[in-house]
Structure 1
């Protein structure tokens, strides 16, 4: 079976290569790659998880944080236009407290409150008198389908169903490589916030074990699942006192660095496996197991999300026609100019931009209109769009209309031009012609390659 861009409905985003490996281990099938526009620099892994077709993407190596996450998801939703929601899946730092006995290997899932989306950009705000920091702004909440699926898993967990643990154990036992590299470490050490790390950063062997916080032993090593607020920012949290101060003010369960970059770009849920306690004792020993635990929860979540019968959508190979004027039945003359321009359209390696220049009233619009109808008749598979450039607002509205016609969803006005251009760059977009009428600014035609433009001047 072959798949197209519009067949993929779930975005799975991760920040580290080990998180990407955990994500790949969750795929029931791997699909072949698809072409993408030159402007999209993401590298995608395509596949199936349960009944959902999933697009997996990882942030660039060594480039972390909210801005990097925003860039990745922005390009993804432009290339895969039927994505319904996103999952930000990976590792995070836990905040142990009396109310939440969070331990290494547990999973924290973002859950909205009355005042928050479930993810708080904790470093976004202003400093007030006395050094007090006031958090400002809020991010978009996850879609209802994700929140209802979360409630389903939460209730299953309460009744003793451990689907996340079953998936996790299955991967570790059925794949020798994953079992060797992603198995659960032995030591889960928590020190008081007042006790700083000693010795090598690789482990806590030099730390005073007499300082360890005494916690009751759990009945099993299965990950516990916590739901609540996740703090997202562009700095690594490595100080226990700062951790506790921020967590206490905002009721935080986990710190991480990417989720805030997704929430306003794509309706998303953050899923974090706990690999450290955001203190000076931070190391990498638990990262792989924590990443696999988070990925296992993500797969469990997808298993309870319904697959909708996709409404009959526009075949991407079907051309669109967006010319707002009827053909002028009385049009005559200018045959030489029209023939010359038609020749440029059909010329091999001809110009990609053609400008029709002349004084007002000499017939530029009528020539363009006649060309549009002739092109439609000669090549019915060519999409033709008309953009009226009489004002900035008219151009913006035209791009939005094109985006709607192409069934591009969740497009913001500020980014619609780039999204439409990215779509037209896809091979699946086929042939197309965009006519800019009343485009008086010649800067519109600027390009590094002057041979890419043909300027045709009309006289009265």
Structure 2
């Protein structure tokens, strides 16, 4: 197939991107022709900062770009600019050098070999906790599979014939590069360094000084210990670490014999296809390398792949120049760059070039416009599926305590029987049911399993080469309607799956696609029938892998349980979808899931409960002293707690709080045992017991806090915030006749207010409320929005420690208990306090321009709480309006009025505002 010089930029089909000049040089030797030999003739798009080399490799017109600096962010920017300037690019190759794991599914990887990506992960993208790092790998956070075109090529290359052809072509091209360079001043540049330079040390052998008594290396014994600065930049020979323990490599032996015989075959690289880990840091830890290789199946590490992957259809082609450990050296970089460049050209020779469309000069522009239009439609549909609290319930569940639930993916023991969950993940189908009574830790276990890398590894064995993706939904009966209905379940799962596979949207959701394509103002969410049809399309698509869905809290489903159960059963009916579901053992679930794989949590958590009590109470300094004096008595305290818990983790958490309180009061072992004996075994009795134990002087404040939180929780359908700062503002409202002070708080004052509130929650509320600091970085997880950055304290949330606390407080008789019957203050009114707190928060948010949406939300909530206060206490309405007026006047600004915050309020609400605030300019706007 002849290839003519392109006449326009959109006639280039392949982009090659390099991070280092030495990589760029090696790729340059693979070009058959350069189109810019006499100067550039193609230009670039406006605002594209890249400099390009253009030419031909085989049958393809290729554009070559060199990154200005390394890293994912710069790579993503460069790739986006290439896509903007060269609209016809069908494939991007990231070509260069990398560090590799020593093995790929039992096959040894040597220096100079070539790695080709089947998929990419970001190994440094996640959350850093005090005791561990958790990589984000949910559907919306992870990089998807390559497109169909590239997948088809890679599948072919992994066959015996395809891989052999690729390797032989790579070897031939490598020899050609070496021959071409031989007659230049760079003679020998890409020579094979030799097997003597290919050394793999044992994982535990660090790159440091050996025999130096005066530097930090002297104290380096494990992977996390530091070494001195000199060691970092020195070679193994200079440090004396080259004599360390070496791993024997079987593949080196025939290479050594070939070297001795003077045969060029000694340098022949092997091509490996597998998972590449991409990050913004150079991997120089053998221990971390081995961990990722074992847990994720990673075979190589680079710094740019993840950046390019989401911008262009991409394949990573890298030559191995080191083993991603601390013993890095640069001796292999040039040869590895040459093997990668050779493999890249060989790969292109295996790629079947599609026929070019007719020479319509506007075709590319029309195609680009069509793609842009399609993406807008896809994004609009995804925005309709998404809802604000889509992951809120899972995020508020605390992580499993360390050393707990580790039994879950191990085979059942003789004395504790359950259906082997690891075996089900590896090979099972249908539904796996996790049951347990309230507070036993079902949601914590579900979050643990969903986030666990080992879960993904087991699922991959089930899915095979097709791959497996996961999606989750956590029901929340006290949340918004979407958090407790089948509509919310369907929308959440569809959003998470289709975000990674938007190409399926037209077939999966045809009605929504038509509405969006026709430009209708409002797109309706899918009906139950449409949602089931969408899941059927997804589960039977030949282009997708398999799916495992995690559905927590089915007993919190709003509606007929049988409808929810039947829907889940239909989801799990196919061979490509299975479901892990958790619930209390309500009769409907017991009947529906009888005979299916399952485990009953309270029967299995005794070791976890013991470990938790030992960690929280047993390791307390005062408890350690008591244990030294009376080891038997201390052990009895802990064992009695375990026995009394009946497998309910929530009960244990409260019990431990009681014991910690006793230790703070210098209780001895006898007094602590008395506390344990006094603890009621039933959960609701435990709640009452904890409230009774609150000191009388704190009960007024505690009652206020509980009433405010209860009101907030009860109003979840129409309020949007339940954060620490808003609650603090509501609490400090004195609600008397003097004007409410309106001032802008400094960040320091806000943080101090929140910290003071957290202290009150601990001491005034019997441990029934907790502060959960936000872990996400943006208010809007929806990619359609861009929101502000959260402050760890100011935007923390206040929650009941469990839904059962809210259910406990729903009983009006509870509020008649002596411990809660105290006056919350003569002038204290819940709705008024929440109204003024919201309005005050709106003024604070308005001062921070990025938080305009929060200001609008707070203003709406403030007005609705004010309306409720008016309905509940009409005799106090003048007091309520007088306090609201300064806020409403202050918030009457062009920034908010242009986006009328009351536009969606019921007519009765706007009438209330008009009638109650005659002095405010707001009514004029409402009338208009």
TM-score, normalised to structure 1, is 0.64
Name the SS of the counterpart of 2:334 in structure 1.
helix
* Corresponding residue to 1:156 among 153, 161, 168: 161
Q: CA deviation at 1:314?
A: 3.6
Written as runs of structure 1 = structure 2, the 5 A alignment for 1:32-431 is 32=36, 33=40, 34-60=42-68, 63-97=69-103, 99-111=106-118, 118-127=119-128, 130-136=131-137, 137-154=141-158, 155-156=160-161, 159=164, 162-176=168-182, 177=184, 179-186=187-194, 187-198=197-208, 201=233, 203-205=235-237, 206-216=240-250, 217-219=253-255, 220-312=266-358, 314-315=360-361
CA distance in 2, matches of 1:266, 1:125: 23
**Matches of 2:18 and 2:116 in 1, distance apart?**
15
Change (3 A) 1:192 1:166: same
Structure 1 Cα separation of the partners of residues 180 and 332 of structure 2: 20
CA contact (8 A) 2:126 2:133 kept: no
Following TM superposition, by how much is the alpha carbon of 1:210 offset from its aligned partner in structure 2, in angstroms? Answer: 4.9
Q: Which has the higher helix share?
A: 2
Runs of 4+ in 1 over 6 A off after TM superposition: 317-320
Instruction: Give the Cα–Cα distance (whole angstroms) in 2 for the partners of residues 159 and 121 of structure 1.
Output: 30
What secondary structure, in the 3-state scheme, does the structure 2 residue paired with 1:209 have?
coil
Structure-2 change in CA distance of 1:284 and 1:298 (3 Å): same
1:437-458 Cα offsets, whole Å, 9 max, x none, are xxxxxxxxxxxxxxxxxxxxxx
Give the direction of change, closer, same or farther, for the CA distance of 1:83–1:157 in structure 2 (3 Å limit). Answer: closer
User: Quick check: 1:87–1:298 contact (8 Å CA) kept in 2?
Assistant: yes
Aligned position for 2:27: 23
In structure 1, C-alpha distance between the alignment counterparts of 2:106 and 2:339, rounded to whole Å: 22
The 2-side partners of 1:318 and 1:240 are apart by 47
Q: Deviations over 1:18-38 (max 9, x none)?
A: 110111111011112221234
> Root-mean-square deviation (CA), in Å?
2.9
Contact residue 181 and residue 189 of structure 2 kept, 8 A: no
Q: Distance in 2 between matches of 1:303 and 1:228?
A: 20
User: Aligned residue pairs: how many?
Assistant: 320
Shift of 1:153: 3.8
Q: Which has the higher contact order (CA 8 A, sep 6+)?
A: 1
Alignment check: 8 A CA contact 1:85 1:266 kept = yes
| Contact 2:67 2:74 survives alignment (8 Å) | yes
Instruction: Check conservation: 1:128, 1:134, Cα contact below 8 A.
Output: no
Partner of 2:12: 8
CA pair 202-8 structure 1, distance change in 2 beyond 3 A:
farther
* Cα distance change of structure 1 residues 191 and 17 upon mapping to structure 2, 3 Å threshold: same
Query: CA 1:152–1:193 in structure 2 vs 1: closer, same or farther (change >3 Å)?
Result: same
Could you tell me how far 1:318 is from its partner in structure 2? 11
CA contact (8 A) 2:70 2:304 kept: yes
Q: Determine the C-alpha separation between the residues in 1 that align with 2:163 and 2:150.
A: 19
Whether contact under 8 Å (1:192, 1:213) holds in the other structure is yes
> Aligned equivalents of 1:159 and 1:2: distance in 2?
32
Contact 1:120 1:232 (8 Å CA) reproduced: yes
Aligned-residue offset at 1:179 = 4.6
**Counterpart-to-counterpart distance in 2, 1:306 and 1:227:** 19
Give ranges in structure 2 of 5+ residues lacking alignment: 210-230, 256-265, 367-515, 521-782, 785-928
Distance 2:107 2:364 in 1: 54
Q: Assess, with a 3 A threshold, how the Cα gap between structure 1 residues 156 and 134 changes in structure 2: closer, same or farther.
A: same
Shift of 1:129: 7.3
Q: Is the 8 A contact 1:6 1:82 kept in 2?
A: yes
Structure-to-structure mapping, 1:441-460, within 5 angstroms: none
Whose strand fraction is larger, Structure 1's or Structure 2's? Answer: 1
In structure 2, how many angstroms separate the alpha carbons of the residues matched to 1:319 and 1:194?
56
Between the aligned partners of 1:251 and 1:130, the Cα distance in structure 2 is: 23
CA contact (8 A) 2:150 2:313 kept: no
Output the CA distance in 2 between the equivalents of 1:157 and 1:288. Answer: 26
For residues 270 and 2 of structure 1, the distance between their equivalents in structure 2, rounded to whole angstroms, comes to 27
CA distance in 2, matches of 1:138, 1:313: 38
Supply the distance in 2 between the matched residues of 1:221 and 1:288 (Cα, whole angstroms).
13
Relative to structure 1, is the Cα distance of residues 203 and 304 closer, same or farther in structure 2, using a 3 angstrom cutoff?
same
Deviation at 1:149, TM superposition (A): 2.9
Shift of 1:169: 1.0
Name the SS for the 2:107 alignment partner. coil
Does structure 1 conserve the Cα–Cα contact (< 8 Å) formed by 2:12 and 2:63? yes
Distance across 1 between alignment mates of 2:351 and 2:326: 39
SS at match of 1:236: coil
CA distance in 2, matches of 1:312, 1:17: 38
Asked if the contact 1:164–1:297 (Cα under 8 Å) also holds between the matched residues in 2, the reply is yes
Matched residues in 2 for 1:227 and 1:235: separation? 22
Q: How far apart are residue 56 of structure 1 and its match?
A: 0.7
**Cα distance change of structure 1 residues 9 and 214 upon mapping to structure 2, 3 Å threshold:** same
Residue equivalent to 1:408: none
Is the Cα contact below 8 Å between 1:182 and 1:292 reproduced in 2? yes
CA distance in 1, matches of 2:358, 2:175: 39
1:189 partner SS: coil
User: Cα gap change, 1:182/1:152 in structure 2, threshold over 3 Å: closer, same or farther?
Assistant: same
- Cα distance in structure 1, aligned partners of 2:357 and 2:72: 33
Offset, 1:242: 1.6
Distance 1:2 1:139 in 2: 35
Unpaired segments ≥5 residues, structure 1: 112-117, 321-392, 398-412, 415-460
CA contact (8 A) 1:85 1:143 kept: no
Q: CA deviation at 1:157?
A: 6.0
**Greater Rg by CA:** 2
Distance 1:132 1:78, change over 3 A: closer
Q: Secondary structure at the match of 2:299?
A: strand
1:128 CA displacement: 5.3
Aligned to 2:769: none
Is contact 2:201-2:244 (8 Å) kept? Answer: no
Q: 1:159 to 1:263 in 2, by over 3 A?
A: closer
Cα–Cα, structure 1 residues 124 and 313, in superposed 2: closer, same or farther, change >3 Å?
farther
Give how far 1:197 is off: 1.6
2:174 is paired with a residue whose SS is: helix
Q: Structure 1's 158 and 303: CA in aligned 2 closer, same or farther, altered over 3 A?
A: closer
Comparing 7-16 and 95-104, the one that deviates more: 95-104
